[in-house]
Amino acid sequence: MTQNRNVVLFIASSLDGYIATKEESLEWLYKVEGEGDNGFSQFYDTVDTVLMGKKSYDWIMKQDLQQFPYENKNCYVFTRSLARNTENVQFVNPDITDFIHVLKSQPGKNIWLVGGGELLHSFIQKNLVDELIITVAPTIIGRGIRLFREGDYQLDLSLKGTRNFNQFVELHYEVKR
């Protein structure tokens, strides 16, 4: 286990920067011909902690899944409302900066920032993201849920690498500090 844990955004986006349609649909993503799981399994093995917002959690729970997809990881769901912890999830409403500093100080693997856009925006504003792995689909949606929200911030990035998964292109960036 490493002590140098990074917060990593791993997400898919349309070419015009959307992560879902306005109706929260990902159908556009599944229409693109990929390769295997588009690098997901390889990435998933590098993390032991999963972070997501309540909207993303609710979306996942509405899917027809046989089991919770992150049950072998420490999963934290950020929410402003009261929610009861489950066997697989801890609902939290902490000071984000303090919470992340505590997680990063503990031994373990990387920390996956699943999403969504609102939580990502909070992390970016507080400079808590270390790496971004964005898999771009050759699709233009036109409108929907943006990957990056408009705001008063700037992130300077360094390209770590690119990979192709048939029609998808993965862009891997490290945040310059």
Quick one: pLDDT at residue 145? 94
DSSP character for 24? Answer: -
Q: For the packed helices 117-125 and 96-105, what is the interaxial angle rounded to 10 degrees?
A: 80
- For the question of whether the overall pTM of this predicted structure is more than 0.85, the answer is yes
Quick one: pLDDT at residue 67? 92
Quick one: pLDDT at residue 28? 95
Taking 70 as the pLDDT cut, the residues of the chain under it are 1-3
- Count how many Cα atoms sit within 13 Å of the Cα of residue 47 in the half-sphere of its side chain: 24
Is 90 within 8 Å of 51 (Cβ atoms)? no
Quick one: pLDDT at residue 128? 97
Quick one: pLDDT at residue 152? 87
* Nearest CA-CA partner of 144 in 54, 31, 19: 19
